[in-house]
Chains A and B, each alone.
Chain A
């Protein structure tokens, strides 16, 4: 019976889909179960992401945490004036993490981390009402980071390390709302770039005010992923000098914005742990997604985004039920970086309320299983994509309006190992 249920969960994971966002906050099952708090929590190797400075306070010599989430997310679009409706088709993707730390001596712990903090996979029905903005997008970025955690005193530690990013993007949209070839097939372009490398860093500190009260701060730098010489593939272009679109190369850059986290945790009666995190994501760097085509006959493509910096407020609670079972719940409010009038169906994201829960099962002294789930609640929103011409004079698209509703349910499973 147990086996069957396990299979059930993993079966779900095989049909994984990504959420309609681009920052994917799923970097540890224990943290996620507590509202994705963790900058001031010393729990397991998930610290490698949340606050590397805390790694040095882990009790064991070797700590490993790994896991993955299955994102079931759908977005619906409708326009009541014209009776249009569309729904994204679930793609497949697996946000994952793997962290390890090794205590070298009393004051130094080294670590290695791999995680996927940014990504997006949205697939609308081909040629849907907003197909001139996006038919489908698949954006992936894997972060690999080397870490050092240094204890300055029993109260204070610092940590951080360099980040290597390997990213890929595949994006398809129709050239405009009507252009078709003679057979009526819509003219479209696919841009594809993979194996794009970039570098960044993170730095953090942890302060243990008392045995029960901790403060943490973590900063992860902005990383500009610059795709050079990606492939642009034009399809269904009419045979006409008026539409000089031929396959070519393109350059584009996409920011992985910087993120600052501060937080506090408080332990009560050895059984209860409260955590609060505040995240600030510096999205304002994402002004516009510009595709610079190498063929000079092809006009460059400007896709205004005009994101704003956004905040997330996270609350988590952990209860040690017994030797074997630890229970967790959490809540967060995630502010969308998308401004009104820039609601592109490529990242159809408005403010989200996240409700989380989960548990750990300590199978023995070394090994535990961590499970979590996240339910994201989004309000129905009437929005448009209508870039302000005074900010984006080169954008000549027509406003695209409608009502959006997103849902996301994300179960996740992980393991913790300590030695």
Chain B
């Protein structure tokens, strides 16, 4: 009898320890392959796009869903790897504090207004709690530094907290720099990475683009002298980029270089149409009611434009159709004084004629080829308080000043809200120049070349389908871009990661599995706003 029980007990214990086994288990060695690449110490270099910045802020869940962190989770399926450390923010609110004062704003969330329409708002559900001065210890795999330009990665002092206020240092790098004079590149190389990715250069042109082309396209060779909104000279970019990649290549088994997308593919630059004024839109009733008055206001101006043979600047708001906003185009001939003269001859008093001349001397209705920036969308149709003050100080009464201060309708959208075709050409040429450099450097060093330019163009032009639908670059609804219109959502990062995996697999003869795009989130909903 003893024997029987013994056998049963042994049998029980034996089979209990048996687990179901697949013929080809994906969680065991050999299921996938790292090929010729060695992912054991992966370092991701770049800017906000690499850091996981989204919704106009850096916050924890964005960092977790950065494309480098998505990649690491797939790399892990091919070989044993070191922990991929991330310089996590302190919260999901996103703002930065310097000495207790908030220096960057909280993230955006999609809030639903009382009228039921959703719009991006600044999250106010909690206080920002990430103090820049609390420097994190250790080295970090994700070395993406929001705001960094190509030449910043080699700047000593870029991580010095003392330089944040004066603008020589970057608060995000301060948080994880190994010392105040360490450079991003040094800290990366110190980890002896076996694999790297580099996505840098976006901000070298984006600063100019997002400011509406207020900077200049630099020909100077010393980036220390560049202003924030300037475009980095491609010759300078070439030198810096090449040196950086050669230094990284020397110690690694391989890496990928990611090129620069077109601004035209990004919602920040393609969401607001040139002709958003629509009398049929129930949300624009106020505008619709003003059309007659507006047209009578612009009638003497139009006569003056005709007299000055500048009919292309004529302003007429349609009662039925969409109309263009008015923009200030610094490339136009300034006809302020001529305009003032003609208006006075037409019977307008000198003060008013002078104001009109000033305001409309380089004004024209927007054209389809203009790009109105996303930042303008909350401004168009609103009274510009600053302009109104100026006009009142110039002698207009409050009502008249208010009438002439409506953004985009009576007060032309200023330079920082518009990219005119000339500015767009400068940007396009620069991006093309950078991308030629990036692809040449990739080839010269035998690295993977990730064409994010084509990828984002594909998202903008029809989108990329996945098992739950199609991801596009459409603002808010498309799923690829976060609420700031520039940075990717988790799902956008997943698409990016898959593209990089494709390149790695073909460059390094690897078999890294892709991720399921549909399981990554898009924009975050919250009504915890002010």
Interface residues of A (CB under 8 A from B): 1-2, 5-6, 8-9, 12, 72, 74-76, 78-85, 87, 129, 177-184, 238-243, 324-325, 359, 361, 371, 373, 375, 378, 380, 398-399, 403, 405-407, 409, 411
A72–B123 alpha-carbon span in the complex (Å)? 48
Q: Is the interface of B mostly helix, strand, loop or mixed?
A: loop
Chain A nearest Cβ from B361, distance in angstroms: 46
| Structural contact, B16 and A359, CB atoms closer than 8 A | no
| Structural contact, B468 and A177, CB atoms closer than 8 A | yes
Closest 7 CB pairs of A and B: A83-B513, A184-B61, A240-B525, A409-B15, A407-B20, A405-B20, A238-B525
Interface residues of B (CB under 8 A from A): 1-2, 4-6, 8-9, 11-13, 15-16, 18-27, 31-32, 60-61, 64, 74, 77, 92, 109-112, 116, 118, 123, 125, 467-468, 491, 513-516, 518-522, 524-528
Q: Which residue of A lies closest to B62 (CB)?
A: A184
A84–B8 alpha-carbon span in the complex (Å)? 36
Please name all residues of chain A whose beta carbon is closer than 8 Å to the beta carbon of B61 when the two chains form the complex.
Answer: 180, 183-184
A247–B12 alpha-carbon span in the complex (Å)? 44
Please name all residues of chain B whose beta carbon is closer than 8 Å to the beta carbon of A324 when the two chains form the complex.
Answer: 1
Please name all residues of chain B whose beta carbon is closer than 8 Å to the beta carbon of A83 when the two chains form the complex.
Answer: 26, 31-32, 74, 77, 513
Q: Which residue of A lies closest to B1 (CB)?
A: A361
| Structural contact, B519 and A177, CB atoms closer than 8 A | yes
| Structural contact, B118 and A242, CB atoms closer than 8 A | yes
Please name all residues of chain A whose beta carbon is closer than 8 Å to the beta carbon of B123 when the two chains form the complex.
Answer: 182
Please name all residues of chain A whose beta carbon is closer than 8 Å to the beta carbon of B20 when the two chains form the complex.
Answer: 74-76, 87, 378, 405-407
| Structural contact, B528 and A409, CB atoms closer than 8 A | no
Given A129-B519, A241-B527, are A371 and B21 neighbors across the interface (CB < 8 Å)? Answer: no
| Structural contact, B19 and A76, CB atoms closer than 8 A | yes
Please name all residues of chain A whose beta carbon is closer than 8 Å to the beta carbon of B6 when the two chains form the complex.
Answer: 5
Given A80-B513, A81-B514, A83-B32, are A409 and B118 neighbors across the interface (CB < 8 Å)? Answer: no
Given A5-B6, A8-B9, A85-B26, are A178 and B522 neighbors across the interface (CB < 8 Å)? Answer: yes
Given A78-B27, A82-B513, are A242 and B16 neighbors across the interface (CB < 8 Å)? Answer: no
Q: Which residue of B lies closest to A407 (CB)?
A: B20
| Structural contact, B528 and A239, CB atoms closer than 8 A | yes
Please name all residues of chain A whose beta carbon is closer than 8 Å to the beta carbon of B519 when the two chains form the complex.
Answer: 129, 177-178
Please name all residues of chain A whose beta carbon is closer than 8 Å to the beta carbon of B16 when the two chains form the complex.
Answer: 12, 72, 409
A87–B25 alpha-carbon span in the complex (Å)? 12
Given A84-B26, A411-B8, are A182 and B514 neighbors across the interface (CB < 8 Å)? Answer: no
| Structural contact, A182 and B109, CB atoms closer than 8 A | yes
Q: Which residue of B lies closest to A87 (CB)?
A: B19
| Structural contact, A407 and B11, CB atoms closer than 8 A | no
Given A72-B15, A72-B16, are A371 and B8 neighbors across the interface (CB < 8 Å)? Answer: yes
Q: B112 touches which one: A75, A85, A242, A411 (CB < 8 A)?
A: A242
Chain A nearest Cβ from B441, distance in angstroms: 31
Q: List 14 A-B contacts (CB under 8 A).
A: A5-B2, A5-B5, A8-B12, A76-B20, A83-B31, A182-B109, A183-B60, A184-B60, A184-B92, A239-B526, A240-B110, A378-B20, A398-B468, A411-B8
Chain A nearest Cβ from B464, distance in angstroms: 16
Given A81-B513, A85-B27, are A5 and B9 neighbors across the interface (CB < 8 Å)? Answer: yes
Q: B524 touches which one: A81, A182, A241 (CB < 8 A)?
A: A182
Chain B nearest Cβ from A70, distance in angstroms: 8
Chain B nearest Cβ from A272, distance in angstroms: 20
Please name all residues of chain B whose beta carbon is closer than 8 Å to the beta carbon of A74 when the two chains form the complex.
Answer: 19-20
Q: A78 touches which one: B26, B116, B125 (CB < 8 A)?
A: B26
Q: Which residue of A lies closest to B91 (CB)?
A: A183
| Structural contact, B15 and A375, CB atoms closer than 8 A | yes
Please name all residues of chain A whose beta carbon is closer than 8 Å to the beta carbon of B525 when the two chains form the complex.
Answer: 238-240, 242-243
Please name all residues of chain B whose beta carbon is closer than 8 Å to the beta carbon of A181 when the two chains form the complex.
Answer: 526
A72–B383 alpha-carbon span in the complex (Å)? 71
| Structural contact, A85 and B92, CB atoms closer than 8 A | no
Please name all residues of chain A whose beta carbon is closer than 8 Å to the beta carbon of B15 when the two chains form the complex.
Answer: 72, 375, 409
| Structural contact, A9 and B12, CB atoms closer than 8 A | yes
Chain A nearest Cβ from B291, distance in angstroms: 33
